[in-house]
Every structure is written in C-alpha cells, then in structure tokens.
Amino acid sequence: MLLLKKKPLSTIDISERLGLNPSDVSKHMNSSSRHGLVRYDTTSNCYALA
C-alpha cells in the first residue's frame, strides 16, 4: 500500500520492489481490490490506491 502512495504500479513492479513472487502479489492485490483498498487501471495495467 505504501508503494502505491507514490504512483500506480504493475504486479511485476510491486513484486520486484518487495522481493515477492508475482502470483502472491497478484492474489493479495485482487483481495485488496475486492475490499476497496486498491483499484486496477486497465488502461495502464497498474494498481493504484482506491
């Protein structure tokens, strides 16, 4: 969440910065999206704070 305060990021960007598996990041971001914490921008293929 703190990374997204600066700018929207893709799953790959987030996983590289945190040293995590991209599939784990994707699962977490999908859950956060369902809870209204983040949104996925299909135009830029990035996650941003909701």
Indicate the domain borders of the chain. 2-49
Domain 2-49 carries which CATH code? 1.10.10.10
Going by C-beta distance under 8 Å and a sequence separation of 6 or more, which residues neighbour residue 4? 38, 47, 48, 49
pTM for the whole structure: 0.89
Query: From the CB of residue 25, how many other CB atoms can be counted at a distance below 10 Å?
Result: 21
Going by C-beta distance under 8 Å and a sequence separation of 6 or more, which residues neighbour residue 22? 11, 12, 15
Over residues 6-47, the pLDDT tens digits come to 999 999 999 999 999 999 999 999 999 999 999 999 999 999
2 pLDDT tier (thresholds 50, 70, 90): very high
